[in-house]
Structure 1
Amino acid sequence: MAVDVQTETVIARPRDQVAAYAGDPDNAPEWYENIASVRWRTEPPLRAGSQLDFVARFLGRTLAYTYRVVEYGPERMVMRTEQGPFPMETTYTWEELDANRTRMTLRNHGEPSGFGKVAAPVMAASMRRANAKDLARLKQVLEADQG
């Protein structure tokens, strides 16, 4: 059973600012509740082909995984991990609604194997809650920084 979770929010900031902040892996621990750390495997700046090691806590477990950026641009970023029992693709999209409002969509899609297949519905529900909290935190951080 595939897991496919999509969450979105509208942030009162221009698209380029939202994309620059949210698309910078070094900022991830600030707005992602479950991400403990990010380490670059390849040299910055971020681009297609970049590789990043993430350490996260999810469902009571510590997970270490490597994302490879497969697409990066002003409107969209796609990262994939292929190792482990739950290969995952994460997509960020940034849609300009007007000069000062951006719709950000966060999508996680994966095809769990082994025990992950059985736990997929629980994982999807937990991911949906976590993503909603993460986007709310991102909105809070970016909108508070308007001074």
Structure 2
Amino acid sequence: MAPFVSQIEIARPADEVFAYVTDPARFPEWQHDVVDVRLGAGETFTTRRRIGRPERTMTQRVTVNDPPRRWAVRALDGPVRPNAEITVEPLGDRSRVTFSLDFEGRGIGRLLVPLVVRRGARKGAPVSYRRLKERLEGVRHTR
């Protein structure tokens, strides 16, 4: 399946956006499903996410780190393994952030990815991206 791709514009310079959006320690601040993050050795980290009611833990490895433009991670374990790429494009004093998210299913995950996981990502990702924008721009939008 094709990756799920989203774009947002943030009224902050690209280097600031990149530093924030690629810092795993900050994921719980803006990613709606992240409960906590533990930094590991080298380019690895472990996230605990709430997916529905249960919480799932997965280890991820940074596969691309090209500041302030491109960053990518790949999950190393679990039945559902997300692969994400973030690209930050400078637009003067603004930035365009592109998120590409795909999932690899292993075992039972092969069934969950097309039936549950991709649908949940399409619903939850906009919430996270809105929170990211609000955090970085210091603005709270009402809705």
TM-score when normalising by structure 1: 0.86
2:46 matched residue in structure 1: 53
Q: How many residue pairs are counted as aligned between the two chains?
A: 137
Root-mean-square deviation (CA, aligned residues, Å) is 1.6
Contact between 1:8 and 1:104, CA under 8 Å: does it hold in 2?
Answer: yes
Q: Deviations over 1:63-121 (max 9, x none)?
A: 10111111112101011112111222111110112x21111112211221333233323
Match of 1:130 among 112, 124, 127: 124
Contact between 2:37 and 2:46, CA under 8 Å: does it hold in 1?
Answer: yes
1:3 Cα deviation (Å)? 6.6
Distance 1:59 1:117 in 2: 18
Distance 1:69 1:114 in 2: 24
Instruction: Determine what percentage of the aligned residue pairs are the same residue.
Output: 31
Distance 1:141 1:17 in 2: 12
Distance 2:82 2:32 in 1: 18
Structure 1 residues without counterparts, runs of 5 or longer: 43-48
2:90 matched residue in structure 1: 96
Classify 1:3/1:58 alpha carbon distance in 2 versus 1 (closer, same or farther; 3 Å): farther
Contact between 1:13 and 1:143, CA under 8 Å: does it hold in 2?
Answer: yes
Distance 1:61 1:107 in 2: 25
Contact between 1:6 and 1:128, CA under 8 Å: does it hold in 2?
Answer: no
Report the secondary structure of 2:80's partner residue. Answer: coil
Contact between 1:3 and 1:108, CA under 8 Å: does it hold in 2?
Answer: no
Report the secondary structure of 1:131's partner residue. Answer: helix
Distance 1:108 1:93 in 2: 12
Match of 1:106 among 99, 109, 115: 99
Q: Which has the higher contact order (CA 8 A, sep 6+)?
A: 1
1:1-147 matches, within 5 Å, as: 2=1, 4-42=3-41, 49-73=42-66, 74-97=68-91, 99-121=92-114, 122-144=116-138
